[in-house]
Amino acid sequence: MKIKCPICDVESFRVIYKSTLDGGGKERAKQFVYASGTKKIGQIVKCAKCGLMYVNPQEDDIEGLYGETEDELYELSKDGRKATFERDIKEIELTKKRGKLLDIGCSTGIFLEIAKEREWDVYGVELSKWGYEKAKKRISNVYNKTLDKIKFEDNSFDVVTMWDLIEHLTDPNKELKEINRILKNDGNLILTTPNINGFFSRLTKKNWWAMVRMHLFYFSPKTITKLLEKNGFNVIKIKSYSRTIILKYAIEWFKPYKGAYKLLSMITKSKIGDLKFKIDTGDTMVVYAKKK
């Protein structure tokens, strides 16, 4: 499906990378999600007006593909994610009193569980049936449907979060408009997304780790700001995002790169693989915004 730039609403673009898709057949859902390093990407273009990079045309039934996905590595690396999310919720609390919080694309509910422990009233949205079932064991208020179909009341949330989600959305304008509607007048939106202007993106280009089939949009600080402003938000700050990772699980990201993976996987057989550390490559940004 051909689309217009969601910021400029124009069809003027130049092709940056040609499509390398081969359909995928019965394995399409698996290819769609676990495509890192496989070179399976759609055609990536750059808007001639604002510079946003995005996949055009988009594949069919992307929401259906997400419903079929499973990500065991997400759960296996939960200790590192917990440490990351604990920092995130504490930073949110620096400027926001505990209240009603919605996490869109909540996966297995790790962030929501931490927020609940800190006395937030938490809700989650997750399209993956696998992720939804696991999240329900942690949090009761989780929905396995798109945000617009839930019909939350106007002005009902203090905070909405989207951790590594907005780049996956087929229509980010639609999602942001709905978020704006359900946020209170002083509500905050916090999101993370890969930064196409990051050092490793510029260095590795098409081989960048975030250049994968499931990512439909590639934002810079400039383009994510324009998109948010278009949909009724003021950007408060944008900064580089750090994560806590456990070495033996981080190595799994290199699985598509057979040579490197074979070498690095030797680490998992020693105690070194259990090391936990904080990392910030400058390739992911966290954006704090407020409803206008």
How much is the average pLDDT of 101-112? 97
Question: What does DSSP assign to residue 105?
Answer: T
> Which residues make Cβ contacts (< 8 Å) with residue 128, sequence separation at least 6?
66, 67, 68, 69, 70, 71, 107
Q: Which two tokens stand for residue 4?
A: 């217009």
Best CA proximity match to 224, nearest among 191, 179, 182, 175: 191
pLDDT higher than threshold 80 for residue 67: yes
Whole-number pLDDT of residue 209 = 85
Distance of CA 210 to the CA centre of its chain: 11
Give percent of the chain with pLDDT exceeding 90: 67
Mean pLDDT within 86-100: 97
Residue 104 CA to residue 17 CA, distance in Å, equals 29
For 43, phi then psi, to 5°, come to -65, 125
| Lowest model confidence (mean pLDDT) among 102-111, 175-184, 254-263, 271-280 | 254-263
Q: 138-159 burial, b for 16+ CB within 10 Å, e for fewer?
A: bbeebbbebbeeeebeeeebbb
Q: How far is Cα 54 from Cα 56, in angstroms, rounded to an integer?
A: 6
Mean pLDDT of 147-171: 97
What's the whole-model pTM score? 0.90
Residues facing residue 218 across a β-bridge = 53
Q: Are 55 and 6 in contact (CB under 8 A)?
A: no
Does the pLDDT at position 257 exceed 70? no
Q: Is residue 221 over pLDDT 60?
A: yes
Cis, peptide link before residue 221, omega less than 30° from 0: no
Cα(40)–Cα(21) distance, integer angstroms = 5
Residue 39: predicted pLDDT: 66
Give the pLDDT confidence score for residue 70 in this predicted structure: 83
Give the whole-angstrom CA distance, residue 227 versus residue 275: 38
As a whole number, mean pLDDT of residues 69-73 equals 80
Pairing outcome for strands 183-194 and 284-291: antiparallel
- Whether the pLDDT of residue 79 is over 60: the answer is yes
Structure token digits, residue 203: 């260095």
CATH (one of 3.30.420.40, 3.20.20.210, 3.40.50.150, 3.40.640.10) for 13-291: 3.40.50.150
pLDDT band (50, 70, 90) for residue 267: low
pLDDT of 146 > 90? The answer is: yes
pLDDT of residue 78: 86
Once rounded to an integer, what is the mean pLDDT over residues 235-258?
77
Which pLDDT does position 35 carry in this prediction? 44
Lowest mean pLDDT among 28-42, 57-71, 141-155, 207-221: 28-42
Q: Evaluate if residue 286 carries a pLDDT over 90.
A: yes
- 181-190 mean pLDDT: 97
Query: Which are the contacts of 194, defined by CB distance < 8 A and separation ≥ 6?
Result: 167, 201, 210, 215, 218, 219, 283, 284, 285
How far apart are alpha carbons 184 and 191 in whole angstroms? 17
Over pLDDT 70: what percentage of the chain? 84
- Do 89 and 114 meet the contact criterion of CB atoms below 8 Å apart? yes
Cβ neighbours for 85, distance < 8 A, ≥ 6 positions apart: 110, 111, 114, 115, 163
- pLDDT surpassing 90 at residue 71: no
Which amino acid, residue 145? K
pLDDT band at residue 248, thresholds of 50, 70 and 90? low
Q: Say if residues 20 and 41 touch (Cβ distance below 8 Å).
A: yes
What was the pLDDT predicted at 37? 47
Non-local CB neighbours of 270 within 8 Å, separated by 6+ positions: none
| Residue ranges per structural domain of the chain | 13-291
Least trusted range by pLDDT, from 16-25, 51-60, 126-135, 236-245: 16-25
DSSP letter for each residue of 259-273: HHHHHHGGGGGSGGG
Amino acid identity, position 229: E
